[in-house]
């Protein structure tokens, strides 16, 4: 029975790492390749600043690659998921404090809600990975 739970935990963490890794890599590439389109669609908070968009891309892209690395090297999972969970939690907090999206506050609140939800998914994957690591 414990092996089935461990496999389920491990599989959940793998799916989360793959999905969030893909998201972060694609988001980072989107910011690097098309900062104007990124700002107009997702980042319309305040005044457009390509430098800050590139700075964020230089964070998102390696985070996604780190998540892919954690798929290959299971010992990386707990620290990677801890870092990603902290990142998403702080990002969610930022959107809760400032939900004023150019497309309307409802878009900002929708984004904040999505970030809180995804933070929970990451935290569950972190907890599952910590449980798996404790068994080994």
SS3 state of residue 43: coil
Tokens of 133: 């690591």
Contact present, 64 and 28 (Cβ < 8 Å): yes
For 93-128, the pLDDT digits (tens) are 998 998 887 777 788 889 899 999 999 999 999 999
Radius of gyration of the chain (CA): 16
Q: Given this model, what pLDDT does residue 120 score?
A: 98
Say how far apart CA 11 and CA 72 lie, in whole Å.
13
In tens digits, what is the pLDDT along the chain, a chain of 136 residues?
456 766 887 899 999 999 999 999 999 999 999 999 999 988 887 889 999 999 999 999 999 999 999 999 999 999 999 999 999 999 999 989 988 877 777 888 898 999 999 999 999 999 999 987 766 5
Question: According to DSSP H, which parts of 1-104 are helical?
Answer: 2-33, 35-41, 50-72, 77-97
Other residues' Cβ atoms within 10 Å of the Cβ of residue 3: 8
Distance CA 66, CA 63 (A): 5
């Amino acid at each position: 029975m414990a092996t089935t739970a461990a496999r389920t935990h491990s599989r959940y963490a793998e799916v989360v790492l793959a999905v969030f890794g893909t998201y972060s890599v694609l988001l980072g590439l989107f910011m690097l390749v098309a900062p104007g389109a990124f700002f107009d669609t997702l980042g319309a908070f305040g005044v457009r600043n390509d430098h800050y968009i590139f700075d964020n891309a230089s964070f998102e892209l390696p985070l996604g690659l780190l998540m892919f690395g954690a798929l290959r090297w299971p010992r990386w999972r707990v620290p990677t998921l801890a870092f990603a969970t902290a990142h998403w939690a702080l990002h969610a907090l930022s959107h809760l404090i400032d939900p004023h999206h150019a497309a309307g506050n409802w878009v900002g609140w929708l984004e904040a809600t999505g970030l809180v939800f995804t933070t929970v998914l990451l935290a569950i994957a972190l907890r599952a990975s910590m449980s798996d690591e404790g068994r080994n």
